[in-house]
């Protein structure tokens, strides 16, 4: 009897969570992991060493389960942040105080690329350039396109001015001396003209009087043109960022960092911004959160030329090797995606896997011999100009090249599409008009300097800014 009691007295409890020995049968929690001991097994002390190894397997199993659960929860949270684009919990960027956008009249051209999607398209027909109605001369060559709204032409110059001209006579209505040259086409919204100068100052002027309404000093040089959409001014900077400013106040709403300088204008559509850095990277950013939703790397030696363009479900752009690209603008980037793509590319090089297709790719096609400028997008077609003097039309849905025409000189301006005409500026000082359905050259207009600014069509007039220092207002007879 005493022997049996001695054996019972040697019985101990083993924690079912961590397997630790608990000698006191009166304790309610494990001395090791502090788990409740309710229901813990009573076992002879001699068996504890053997039994304690078994729960340890359960511990590791539980740890793996918890890790998997945490990974699943993190993925769900990431998808919610990216797809729903909620405001961040720690930093919530301020919303725009207005919903102001650019003028949208068919007779206007309110900002670079005409609309905030950057299409470079207007349904207005380009006039056959038979008569120069007036010219405006600047002390330096003109590098930027004008904008035209409500009978006024607005222009920034290399001789440190922003100007307002009468659309019919070319008479100067006002001028603002910024003190710095500008490489940016202005944007007109409501009663404001918004422009930028190279040292990094964005300024809003009263479009009737030229009076300064607000200024924003970004602190870094600006070569990008502003884009106005939904109460916000979006502009790229040499601080390798895109800045979002409130249209009404000029206050900074948010700043999104990119991998390199942003020298071309961003594009806007449905609450998202597409921005290309001065390298080979394209970002799609949510305006509400200022967070990256999608990232695309075009690959070594394929730097992005010009500005990205939104159209339908796609974002389009060109690269310096002469290719045009279509990406799914709804695509989302996933964690570890770049690392996985890197190894897939290496395995393809080693002959283990087929060539990988980067997430978001719809199509790409090399259509011209090198490209230093951007592309234009009409409702059904893309147009690209090359350093080899070729202008090409590409089907917007399939990427198939429809036609190519030789204009006889390097294409030095991003194309403009006006009605049934595609127009490009050339290194030898011409603006060439081509039939956009066939590619046939239908007219040419000659200036005395290289044309690097996109031609503009508004109020039945063709406006051409040339490096000869003149702005030409051209019309049909």
Q: What is the pLDDT of residues 20-79, one digit of tens each?
A: 666 655 667 776 666 666 666 676 766 655 444 444 545 555 666 667 777 677 666 655
For 312, the token pair is 């339908």
pLDDT of residue 332: 92
Cβ neighbours for 331, distance < 8 A, ≥ 6 positions apart: 294, 359, 360
**SS3 state at 4:** helix
**DSSP-derived 3-state class of residue 60:** helix
Whether the CB-CB separation of 66 and 32 falls below 8 Å is answered with: no
CATH architecture of 121-475: 7 Propeller (2.130)
pLDDT of residue 349: 73
Q: What is the dihedral of CA 368, 263, 212, 148, to 10 degrees?
A: 10
- Contact assessment for residue 303 and residue 320, using Cβ atoms and an 8 Å cutoff: yes
Cα distance between residue 475 and residue 196, in whole Å: 29
Alpha carbon dihedral 169, 462, 453, 189, in 10-degree steps, equals: 70
- What residues in the chain have per-residue pLDDT under 70? 1-10, 16-27, 31-41, 43, 45-66, 71, 74-92, 338-339, 341-348, 352
Q: Is the dihedral of CA 361, 365, 369, 374 positive or negative?
A: negative
Give me the helices (H) in 335-399, please.
Answer: 337-349
Answer whether 356's CB lies under 8 Å from 339's CB.
no
Backbone angles phi, psi at 218, to 5 degrees: -75, -20
* CA–CA dist 261, 237 (Å, integer): 6
- Residue 173 φ/ψ, nearest 5 degrees: -95, -35
φ, ψ dihedrals at 255, nearest 5°: -130, 130
Q: Which two tokens stand for residue 428?
A: 């030898």
pLDDT recorded at residue 88: 46
Q: What is the pLDDT of residue 52?
A: 47
Please name which of 329, 286, 283, 328 lies closest in space to residue 304, comparing C-alpha atoms.
Answer: 283
Neighbour tally for 254: CB within 10 Å: 20
Domain borders along the chain are: 2-84, 121-475
Residue 8 has a pLDDT of 46
Structure tokens at 186: 């202005």
CA distances from 141 to 160, 161, 181, 274, 394 (A): 12, 13, 11, 30, 32
- Distance between CA atoms of 191 and 213, rounded to whole angstroms? 10
The side-by-side arrangement of strands in the sheet containing 121-122 is 121-122, 416-418, 421-425, 430-435, 441-446
């Amino acid at each position: 009897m005493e022997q049996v009691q001695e054996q019972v007295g040697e019985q101990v409890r083993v924690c079912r969570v961590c397997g630790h020995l608990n000698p006191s049968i009166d304790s309610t929690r494990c001395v090791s992991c502090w788990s409740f001991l309710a229901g813990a097994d009573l076992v002879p002390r001699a068996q504890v060493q053997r039994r304690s190894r078994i729960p340890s397997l359960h511990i590791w199993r539980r740890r793996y389960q918890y890790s998997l659960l945490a990974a699943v929860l993190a993925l769900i949270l990431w998808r919610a942040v990216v797809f729903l684009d909620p405001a961040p919990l720690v930093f919530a960027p301020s919303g725009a105080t207005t919903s102001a956008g650019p003028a949208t009249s068919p007779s206007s051209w309110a900002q670079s690329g005409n609309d905030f999607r950057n299409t470079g398209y207007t349904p207005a027909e380009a006039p056959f350039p038979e008569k120069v109605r007036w010219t405006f001369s600047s002390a330096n060559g003109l590098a930027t396109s004008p904008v035209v709204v409500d009978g006024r032409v607005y222009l920034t110059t290399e001789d440190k001015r922003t100007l307002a001209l009468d659309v019919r006579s070319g008479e100067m209505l006002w001028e603002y001396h910024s003190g710095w040259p500008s490489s940016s086409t202005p944007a007109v919204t409501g009663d404001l003209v918004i422009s930028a100068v190279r040292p990094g100052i964005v300024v809003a002027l009263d479009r009737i009087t030229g009076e300064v309404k607000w200024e924003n000093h970004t602190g870094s040089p600006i070569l990008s043109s502003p884009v106005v959409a939904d109460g916000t001014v979006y502009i790229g900077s040499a601080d390798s960022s895109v800045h979002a400013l409130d249209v009404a106040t000029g206050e900074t709403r948010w700043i999104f960092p990119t991998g390199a300088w942003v020298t071309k204008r961003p594009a806007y559509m449905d609450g998202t911004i597409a921005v290309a850095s001065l390298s080979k990277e394209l970002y799609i950013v949510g305006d509400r959160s200022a967070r990256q939703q999608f990232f695309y790397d075009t690959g070594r030696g394929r730097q992005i030329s010009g500005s990205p363009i939104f159209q339908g479900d796609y974002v389009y752009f060109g690269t310096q090797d002469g290719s045009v690209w279509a990406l799914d603008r709804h695509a989302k980037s996933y964690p570890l995606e770049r690392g996985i793509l890197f190894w897939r590319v290496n395995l393809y090089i080693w002959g283990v896997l087929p060539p990988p297709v980067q997430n978001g790719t719809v199509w790409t096609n090399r259509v011209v011999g090198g490209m230093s400028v951007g592309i234009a997008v009409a409702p059904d077609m893309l147009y690209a100009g090359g350093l080899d003097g070729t202008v090409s039309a590409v089907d917007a849905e399939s990427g198939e090249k429809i036609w190519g025409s030789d204009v006889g000189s390097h294409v030095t301006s991003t194309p403009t599409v006006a009605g049934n005409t595609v127009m490009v500026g050339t290194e030898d000082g011409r603006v060439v008009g081509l039939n956009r359905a066939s590619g046939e050259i239908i007219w040419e207009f000659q200036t005395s300097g290289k044309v690097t600014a996109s031609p503009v069509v508004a109020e039945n007039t063709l406006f051409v800014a040339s490096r000869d220092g003149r702005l030409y207002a051209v019309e049909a007879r």
